[in-house]
Structure 1
Amino acid sequence: MVRKIERDALESQLSGVQALIANMDPDDFVGRASLQYHQNQLGQEISKLASSITNIGSVVLSFEGGPVIGSRGIDTQFAATTLNTYQELISKQLAAMETGGLAQRGPVQSRSAGKLNITSLVHGSFGFQLEEESSDEPEFVDSAVKQSIAIVDDFISAFSSGSDQLYLNALSQVDRRVLISLQKFYNTLYKDSASLKIIEDDRDIVINQNAVLLAINRINDIEVQDTDISITGELLGLAPVQRRFDFRPSDGSPVISGQAGQQLSNDYLERLHSEARLPGRIYVAKMMRRVATRVGGSFNESYTLLDLTEPASLSLPDGP
């Protein structure tokens, strides 16, 4: 079970026990002792759960609105479409993380590796718990699938957020094919007048119907154009954890700042241990320039740093 659901259930039980204790007859010593023992047991379970580490990807998608019949059922076509689209999102994001970006067409190589299974139903509204297939090998860090789930959920949240800045940041980072599946996901929610609650181990994200409408307006209101460019200049800084970079073109153009690609960030961390300090050196930077144009004519421009190579003039071998 997703840890947050289990913790919320235990905390609800604990609140109920504490309320019973507070309203007990002061002379009911036996009953008080019994409830206090139960209270202590619940507290220990909550503490144990808080310290547990789960590195396997799991998430709950819980729906309300048009396709849901109380807590008894859900429209099968809606459920199949949304779950399949969410699976697409995870598989595409996983592939983008592993390859540094997806081709505009063709199969997604990590579709089977990012496979999620329905492991239980969640009631209250109507939800599905999804989990990746666990490996026999011990996981000491979050699996790539768990990381992909968190990133996809961040995108879903940001596109429906009341903050334009969160939305624009997400728009600059999302892979183009992930964006297509995100549009499909939100269109399904909108068409069926559904709302969504996403529950992870330590957070939940609520997407009501107003938020769905906001996301739909944003996604359907933009046209995204990606262009690969190469620029020679000085790498001023690269933060691999935050995945941010600053680059000064040699032609005197303004400094370019933006997002570093996942693969570049990973490579940079490895190279820190074997090479001289990268910032301050001259490179040919391969970047993706994204221009997102709104229907009204305004646009947002962003850059993603994909690769760094030495200029040919600097990498020629010394003469005899």
Structure 2
Amino acid sequence: MNRTEFTHAQAEIGFLDRIAQKPGLSNLARLSLQSRKNQVNAGLRDPGRGAYSPAKAIVTYRGAPVRGVHGIVAEFGSVATAKFSDAVAAVAASISGVLNDFGPIPNKSQNQILITGTALGSFGFEFEEAPSAEAQLPLDGTTAVSQAFELVAELLEASTKSDEELSEPASRLGTRAITMVSEYLDKLIAYEAFCSVSTGSHTFSFSSVDQVRISRSRLSIENISEKNVDFTGQFLGAFPAERRFEFMTQDGMVIHGRISADIEDPAIINAHLNRTFTIKVSARTVGKGRPRYTISNLPW
């Protein structure tokens, strides 16, 4: 049980207590409420409450450097693992909103991953995020590395699909993070290899080196454009947990977009509804897909 689940369990117990105190409840209803309360309490008494469970990913390879399930060329294994680790660290930093276009990857020491075993089926490696002092209490129940594992897998899978499907994960990452994932694919291509990635929520496999080449081209800066756009109108609302907003322009067009990590308290948008503002957003377009909007600065 992570911190978010623990908080929700405590809130549910309080809710059940309030309901049980209401007059007019049948004995069956009271028994049902008490049964649920006992169930939730049992989870809270579990010694593992709040325990940190590190995120995991499995990456296996096929192609020229792989010798069946027996082994993998050491040079390729070393290079591919380093590039995969860099990509995860860059994506984690991008999710946290601290990744710049140049310089060292921020928080890399906090976003380390471990090799915890070899993976068979083809040949590859089992990865696990390295424990850190802060990992016990992630505010939203997941760490940056956990989210990065999932987003890397989602991005790779989407790169084999339509522009619309690729636009969604690509819109959640900075250009440099996408470039780091592309550099990982470059190494696979250089060694005539292709991979499979399995995480907690995603399982994806490239079918060939040619498919990796196509994905690499679709993640190139030539295929992903970004520009700044101004809109004048009114905020319709913000969804802080999802970091999303809705905005209606003066000509009646409703746009949906993401709220970047640069805005610490996205809920503040809901205090400024039905007022006219001019907002500046970035519009990222993948191929022929629709633009995806992100707001990084509020207009007040």
* TM-score under structure 1 length normalisation: 0.66
Partner amino acid, structure 2, of 1:93: V
Tell me how far 1:307 sits from its aligned partner.
Answer: 2.4
CA contact (8 A) 1:56 1:145 kept: no
Who is 1:288 aligned against? 282
Question: CA separation in 1, counterparts of 2:283 and 2:164?
Answer: 19
CA contact (8 A) 2:71 2:123 kept: yes
Who is 2:108 aligned against? 111
Who is 1:125 aligned against? 122
Q: Deviations over 1:161-209 (max 9, x none)?
A: x344211323333310011112212222233232212122354222221
Q: Over alpha carbons, which structure has the higher Rg?
A: 1
Who is 2:298 aligned against? 308
Question: What does 1:20-35 align with in structure 2 at a 5 Å threshold?
Answer: none
Tell me how far 1:128 sits from its aligned partner.
Answer: 0.9
Structure 1 residue ranges, 4+ long, deviating more than 6 angstroms after superposition:
none
Tell me how far 1:261 sits from its aligned partner.
Answer: 2.0
Q: Secondary structure at the match of 1:308?
A: coil
Structure 2 gap segments, 5+ residues each: 1-49
Question: CA separation in 2, counterparts of 1:143 and 1:256?
Answer: 29
Pairing 1:226–2:230 present: no
Who is 2:144 aligned against? 144
Who is 2:178 aligned against? 179
Who is 1:81 aligned against? 79
User: Which is worse superposed, 52-61 or 141-150?
Assistant: 52-61
CA contact (8 A) 1:55 1:142 kept: no
Q: Deviations over 1:289-308 (max 9, x none)?
A: 3345x5xxx67533211122
Question: CA separation in 1, counterparts of 2:228 and 2:221?
Answer: 23
Question: CA separation in 1, counterparts of 2:57 and 2:127?
Answer: 5
Partner amino acid, structure 2, of 1:268: P
Question: CA separation in 2, counterparts of 1:289 and 1:163?
Answer: 18
Structure 1 gap segments, 5+ residues each: 1-51, 311-320
Q: Secondary structure at the match of 2:106?
A: coil
Partner amino acid, structure 2, of 1:127: G
Between Structure 1 and Structure 2, how many residues are aligned? 247
Question: What does 1:66-77 align with in structure 2 at a 5 Å threshold?
Answer: 66-77=64-75
Tell me how far 1:241 sits from its aligned partner.
Answer: 3.8
Partner amino acid, structure 2, of 1:280: N
Q: Secondary structure at the match of 2:102?
A: coil
Question: What does 1:251-262 align with in structure 2 at a 5 Å threshold?
Answer: 252=251, 254-262=253-261
RMSD: 3.0
Question: What does 1:10-89 align with in structure 2 at a 5 Å threshold?
Answer: 55-89=53-87
Q: Deviations over 1:126-150 (max 9, x none)?
A: 1111122224563462222212211
